[in-house]
Amino acid sequence: MFDRSEAYFCSTVTLVDRVLGTALSFKDKTIAITGASGTMGRALMSELSKRGARIIALTTSPDASFQITDSDNQEKKEIEVITWQLGHEAALRDRLQTVDILILNHGVNVLGARDSASIYKSYEVNTFSVFRWIDMFLETVESSLNSTKEIWVNTSEAEVNPAFSPLYELSKRAIGDLVTLRRLDNFCTIRKLILGPFKSDLNPYGVMSASFVAWAIAFLAQLGLHDIIVTINPLTFIAYPVKEFWRSLYFRLFSRRQP
């Protein structure tokens, strides 16, 4: 049988959902995506729109506009764009009330820089801003009626592998650990996007295409996976689960949720 069609599909056997890809439906879900102006942001908006989602583009770029192809009539359509400012995430708290899935995809890579300004910038964008969005969204999860809400966080493969950009790696590992910590409270589903190198303006040498990565993310999410790994590096499929198990165990043993 099936539970609420506007939320998750649920068969009598969970394995069936994973095989058929019915663990999650995007149809008519409102999905807000940060970093919408970037390569991956655009790819995710296009892919999720094709699967029936209503998209909200969250961007720090002023005067940004986006068009995506309507999944029903294949016509181009404008989507809602909301501009936000770093450090002022709370200004959008009320708007998040009607969002079903928040995808935190924004980030910065200062490459080989190691000066103080670059350190602050890396952690502010990649770690603290993302964590503020998470806490703000969790405030909207007030009852079981909102239990189908989700957060997806692009923590990247840098969680477990060298990124050849120390500050990017450090700040991404920090938000990865914070997400692992926050997951213990079970407010709502929080998925991690552990992505390998894909071609973008920030990484022209990436091996994978952004469109393929976006398709894989959506496909794996519909299979019900909470840790979505998309990479060409086979070691990540071994190293990440091991790392996540031990970090989660450590946090569970030596931290507790305050009343």
- Report the distance separating Cα 143 and Cα 147, nearest Å: 7
Q: What is the rounded CA–CA span in Å between residue 48 and residue 54?
A: 8
Number of neighbouring beta carbons within 10 Å of residue 202: 16
Question: What are residue 53's phi and psi, to 5 degrees?
Answer: -80, 150
Do residues 76 and 67 make contact, with C-beta atoms less than 8 angstroms apart? yes
User: Is residue 168 among the annotated active site residues?
Assistant: yes
Q: Give me the catalytic one of 8, 120, 168, 240.
A: 168
Q: Which residues are catalytic?
A: 168
